[in-house]
Structure 1
Amino acid sequence: MGSPRNTLYTVPVLLVILIILELTSLSKSAPDYTSLVYKGCAKQDLADPTGVYSQALSALFGTLIAQSSKAKFFKTTTGSGQTTINGLFQCRGDLSNVDCYNCVSRLPILIDKLCGKPIAARLQLFGCYMLYEVAGFSQISGMEMLYKTCSGTNVGGAGYEEKRDTAFSSLANGIGNANGFYTTSYESVYVLGQCEGDVGSADCVECVKNAVQRAQVECGSSVSGQIYLHKCFISYSYYQNGVPKRSSSSSYTSPSSSGSGQNTGKTVAIILGGAAGVGFLVIFLLFARNLTKKRDVRINMSFKTVEISTFLIPLKRVITKAMGE
């Protein structure tokens, strides 16, 4: 068995380590608008022996990145004749211009890394996406599903699907008059929808309705999901303790501009630093006390019985509450 003196130093160290691990897991769980959702890369590579396509593609990326600092959607063309390349980007409607730029500016590098230089590519991050295609590339229907993700088992309880469908109905009814981006909630279900920037109001509503039907079929009773069609996408989430308060009633709070992202990260960092500081201060004081005393320090061994979780659980509740605000 270890001596009381060893226990004196070991418990605070373990406490600090557990706090750091707990807060790190909470910090990683926060949403990030630059996280990769999916990639779509054409199987055929660009035939570019002279580098003409590469130059046109670089020019396209440069234009799209430049426009992302002042617009949420932009579509353009570079090159001419057989070397024409069409491209666009779109940011989620609730991102600030700075966040939109930061999101879009990552995409060309990621496209090159994940796809190389195919004749067409589309990359979707949580907060933005970019696509390009060479002239003559075969087109697909705006209603074609590109990607889906559904959560696991339904924990929404009785009546969950009715609540979700009511929220879906509100989304479909509201997005037609919301310039292609709309969020709403019903009881504990939060939904978001967005259409590509050049899609008309009626087509947008039709696309969102199609995505809703896909969600109902593909995700069933899942408590969260995302459905990406070619011209629109929707996402929904069930919050057991109620939908967190947003900065406004009609827009989802950007992870980087309000309470769920950077502020959460700052809160976690502050508490993490404070907890670590307190832990190391305790260790230092105990060490100093040991040096200044000639006799052995008697320790109340009941200290060993203190459950670490009694400290971690309230701390986790504070962090979780901060993330939801």
Structure 2
Amino acid sequence: MSNRYVIEALLRPAVELNTAVVSGMAAYVCVQAPWAVALAPSVSYVTAAGFAALAVTRTHQGMKIIRYRRNLRRLPRYVMSTKQIPVSHRRLFLGRGFRWTQKHTQRLQDTLRPEVARYLQPNRFYLGARQLEMMTEHRLPWLGKLLSADTPLNPVRPLPPVGGNPALHGIEPDEKDVTLALGERVGHTVVYGTTRVGKTRLAELLVTQDIRRGEVTIVFDPKGDADLMKRVWAEAHRAGRGDELYIFHLGWPEISARYNAVGRFGRVSEVASRVAGQLSGEGNSAAFREFAWRFVNIIARSPGRPG
């Protein structure tokens, strides 16, 4: 089908392959049996070359349709080791993506049409494999492992547990590396996403680049993700900045940087004030707070009395 028009039609059968097959057969006939199409041998090779060129062109167009439909179901594997993360003093690497335009909005809207659901949902072979995997979990565990093997040789391998909607990335098969100028980081950046869709992985990617760039990096993690803390620790030591790393965690004082709030003071009474200041001074609690202050003050003064 022609690509000259504004409205695309990508969620459809790859009819270009039909033309490619016919053109390929015609090229074969022109070379092997030119008499069957009433062509002279001197002309048959030129005609065969034309049919072959048409077959290659239509095959490329048909594979583009098939690739687009495949991306809507399963995104291509994209993995990157720590050493492969690019570090620049001008740009910040964010991952792979594309610039969202009107055509991507139209493509995403097309995926919501009920008549194209068969191009988005897993086929019956995939569903049958998942059902067979559940049935053979205890009887034939080796068969379940074979069906769930994450390898390109397994045509019914499970979808990756990344969550989200693969169509958001699949609508653009040609993704590129996305970077951000470091000068744009002076403003605030917010990342939205539901549970287990990669927000922490993105944070690790940004933290890794900041640490390797030699910048002062402060990470606040209210959730207390152990994987994020391990990643920060590993990247700091990998960059040779292990001595500059400080971890503050109330739940793990043995690895946390600690500060003695009453270790330094100008007056002895400041010790009692800092400790008793944590108590409520309203209502009946005022009496207990006053008692705590006097009791702590006496203890704080005791070591200095003999000397």
TM-score, structure 2 normalization? 0.24
More strand by share: 1
TM-score (norm 1): 0.23
Structure ranking higher on relative contact order (CA contacts 8 Å, 6+ apart): 1
Which one has the largest radius of gyration?
2
